[in-house]
Chains A and B, each alone.
Chain A
Amino acid sequence: MSDTLRETSLTNEHRTLGARLVPFAGWLMPVQYAGIKKEHEAVRSRAGLFDVSHMGEILVEGPQAVAAVDHLVTNDVSKLEVGRALYTTCCNQAGYILDDLIVYRLEADKVLVVCNASNRDKIVAHFAKNLSLGTPWNDVSDAWALLALQGPKAVAIMGNLGAPPEVLNLPYFHVTRSSLAGVELWVARTGYTGEDGFELFCASDDAVTLWRALLEAGESHGLEPVGLGARDTLRLEARLALYGNDISEQTHPFEAGLGWVVKLDAGDFIGRDALRAIKAAGLDRKLVGFEMTGRGIARHGYPIVADGKQVGEVTSGSPGPTVGRNIGLGYVPAALAKVGTGLGIEIRGKVVDAVVVSTPFYKR
C-alpha cells in the first residue's frame, strides 16, 4: 500500500515518535502524534515542529531571476529586496489561481519559490513553460527538506541551539543564510500557523540531524512534533487559505480575499488583463469566515443555504481548538458577505445556523 507513496527524509523519525502516517498529495505524512488538539495547543502556547518537506521548492537563478518570477506571479517581486519574502498567488491567463506561493529573494540573483505539494508538478511545468528563455531554474524539492518551527517559544528554542543574533532578530517575512547544529540552511521568519516562528530549508541529507537537534533544544520549552491535522486547524484559525479547499483553479484572488497580493499596476504578469477585467466587473461572491451558532461542525463541501436555497459551499471547516468554536470558510454571494449575516450550513440533510464573522478567527 504505502510503497507507492513518497516518504520524506524524516518519515522514520515520525514512525519512531509514534505518528499516525496518512497519504497526502502522494506523500506518506504524519497527520498527528499526540493528538490534534494537544499539538494545536502546543503551537499556540509553546512551540511545534513540523516536517513539511513534501512542499515543492523551485530555485530560479541568474540576473533575470527576479524579472522572470515576477512575470509568473500576481504580487510584485520586482521590488523584493535581498533577504525578504512575499506571499503571492500564481494565476493562469484567465486570472484563476494555479497555486499560492511564498517567494524568497535569497540573493540578488537567486529566488526561491515554495509551492504546495499537491501542485508541485503543475507549478514546475508552468515555470518550465513560462519562465523567460535562458533563465536557469531547478526543481530542488527532492534535494531540500523543509522544517517549520512555530510558536511563541520558537525564538528561545533557536537560541538554545546557538542561533546567531541575525537569526533570532530576523524580521517577519525575511530570510537569511545560517548554520544550526552544524547544518547549513536558509532560515525564514515565515509559517502557516498564525504564530511567530521559522521555516528552515536544508539539504535532505541533513534533515534528521536538524530535526533531532531542534526537538532536543526545545524539550525544556515544551516543543512537540506536530502533524498535518493541527497544521490545518492552526491555519484555519489564522484564516490562511488552503489550496484545493479555499482557493483553486475555480477561484480568483479577489473573491478569495487575496486582492492584496494582486499588483495590477506593477508590471505585466500572466493573468493581469483578466484580473483587471474581473476587478472592474465587481465581485459576485466572496470567501467569508463563519462560526456555527447551532450545534454542528461544517466541513469542506457542505452546502451553505439562505432562505431555503443553496447559495454557496463550505471550503474549510472544523472545530477551532483555540477559539473554542466551530468555524469555517466558504463562498457566499457578495450580498451575504457582511459580518453578522445569518447563514445556514446543511449538515447531513439538516440546516444548522451559522453567522458571518470577521477574520482571522485567531490573532496572536
Chain B
Amino acid sequence: MTVTYPRDLQYTRDHEWARIEDDVIRVGITSYAVEQLGDVTLVDMPAPGEDVQAHERFGDIESVKTVSELFAPVSGEVVDVNAALESSPELVNEGPYEDGWLITIRPSDQGELEGLMDAAKYEEYLGTLDG
C-alpha cells in the first residue's frame, strides 16, 4: 500500500505531524496512526498555557478498542487546543491533517524541529515497521 504524506509537514517516530505556522507549531496524528487506532472516541489534551516536552506524553487518544499516548514533537507552551474534538472526536478520523488537528505549541527551541522527519523520511520509516 502506498500512501503519500503531506509534503509540508514534519513527522515523529510516534506518528505525530507538525506544521510550522508563523510562530506556532500545529500538531496532529498521521493517517497511519489513525488507521492503526480506528474510530477515535476521546482525546485527552493539555490546557492552553501548559508546557509540553519534546518526545514526552502530552495527552491520550482513545479509539473504541484501545488507548494510545500522544507525544509532543517539540517542547514549548500549548497555545491552542482543538475544542471541537471534545464533542466530535471523529474529526481526527475524517481529517487528521485538517479539522482533526490536536494542539498548537509555541516552541521554546526552534532547533528541535531539525530532529523531525520530512515526508519522504517518514514514508521510509513506515516501510521498516512490521505489519
A residues apposed to B, CB below 8 Å: 1, 31-32, 35-37, 40, 229, 232-233, 295-297, 299, 318-319, 321, 326, 348
The residue from A1, A229, A296, A348 contacting B64, defined by CB atoms under 8 A apart: A229
Contact partners of A36 in chain B: CB under 8 A: 38-39, 63-65
B62 within 8 A of A: yes
**In the bound complex, do residue A229 and residue B130 qualify as a contact, i.e. CB atoms below 8 Å apart?**
no
Bound together, the chains give a CA A37 to CA B93 distance in angstroms of 12
Bound together, the chains give a CA A31 to CA B67 distance in angstroms of 16
Contact partners of A318 in chain B: CB under 8 A: 64-65
**In the bound complex, do residue B42 and residue A296 qualify as a contact, i.e. CB atoms below 8 Å apart?**
yes
B60 within 8 A of A: yes
Contact partners of B62 in chain A: CB under 8 A: 297
Contact partners of B63 in chain A: CB under 8 A: 36
Bound together, the chains give a CA A295 to CA B87 distance in angstroms of 11
Q: Place the interface of chain B in its size category.
A: 10 to 19
Within 8 A of A (CB), among B57-71: 60, 62-65, 67
Contact of A319 with B64 at beta-carbon distance under 8 Å, contacts A35-B39, A37-B39, A295-B42 already known: yes
**In the bound complex, do residue A297 and residue B38 qualify as a contact, i.e. CB atoms below 8 Å apart?**
no
**In the bound complex, do residue B130 and residue A297 qualify as a contact, i.e. CB atoms below 8 Å apart?**
no
**In the bound complex, do residue A35 and residue B130 qualify as a contact, i.e. CB atoms below 8 Å apart?**
no
**In the bound complex, do residue B39 and residue A348 qualify as a contact, i.e. CB atoms below 8 Å apart?**
no
A-B contact sample (18 more), CB < 8 A, given A229-B65, A232-B65, A319-B42: A1-B130, A1-B131, A36-B38, A36-B39, A36-B63, A36-B65, A37-B64, A229-B64, A233-B64, A295-B42, A296-B42, A297-B41, A297-B62, A297-B67, A319-B41, A319-B64, A321-B64, A348-B60
The residue from B38, B41, B130 contacting A32, defined by CB atoms under 8 A apart: B38
Within 8 A of A (CB), among B20-56: 38-39, 41-42
The minimal Cβ–Cβ distance linking B37 to chain A, given in whole angstroms, is 10
**In the bound complex, do residue B65 and residue A31 qualify as a contact, i.e. CB atoms below 8 Å apart?**
yes
Contact partners of A31 in chain B: CB under 8 A: 65
The minimal Cβ–Cβ distance linking A232 to chain B, given in whole angstroms, is 8
The minimal Cβ–Cβ distance linking A58 to chain B, given in whole angstroms, is 30
B residues apposed to A, CB below 8 Å: 38-39, 41-42, 60, 62-65, 67, 130-131
- Among A31, A36, A40, max chain B CB count under 10 A is at A36
- Can you list 30 contacts pairing A with B, beta carbon distance less than 8 Å? A1-B130, A1-B131, A31-B65, A32-B38, A35-B38, A36-B38, A36-B39, A36-B63, A36-B65, A37-B39, A37-B64, A229-B64, A229-B65, A232-B65, A233-B64, A295-B42, A296-B42, A297-B41, A297-B42, A297-B62, A297-B67, A299-B67, A318-B64, A318-B65, A319-B42, A319-B64, A321-B64, A326-B41, A326-B42, A348-B60
Bound together, the chains give a CA A1 to CA B131 distance in angstroms of 9
Bound together, the chains give a CA A310 to CA B17 distance in angstroms of 38
User: Residue of B at shortest CB range from A32?
Assistant: B38
Contact partners of A321 in chain B: CB under 8 A: 64
Contact partners of B41 in chain A: CB under 8 A: 297, 319, 326
User: Residue of B at shortest CB range from A296?
Assistant: B42
The minimal Cβ–Cβ distance linking A20 to chain B, given in whole angstroms, is 8
The minimal Cβ–Cβ distance linking B39 to chain A, given in whole angstroms, is 4
The minimal Cβ–Cβ distance linking B69 to chain A, given in whole angstroms, is 9
The minimal Cβ–Cβ distance linking A33 to chain B, given in whole angstroms, is 11
User: Residue of B at shortest CB range from A36?
Assistant: B64
The minimal Cβ–Cβ distance linking A314 to chain B, given in whole angstroms, is 13
The minimal Cβ–Cβ distance linking B105 to chain A, given in whole angstroms, is 21
- Among A232, A296, A297, max chain B CB count under 10 A is at A297
Contact partners of B65 in chain A: CB under 8 A: 31, 36, 229, 232, 318
Pairs A-B, 8 closest by C-beta atoms? A36-B64, A37-B39, A319-B41, A297-B62, A229-B65, A35-B39, A319-B64, A36-B38
Contact partners of A297 in chain B: CB under 8 A: 41-42, 62, 67
User: Residue of A at shortest CB range from B90?
Assistant: A37
Bound together, the chains give a CA A232 to CA B39 distance in angstroms of 14
Contact partners of A233 in chain B: CB under 8 A: 64
Bound together, the chains give a CA A298 to CA B39 distance in angstroms of 16
The minimal Cβ–Cβ distance linking A18 to chain B, given in whole angstroms, is 10
The minimal Cβ–Cβ distance linking A337 to chain B, given in whole angstroms, is 27
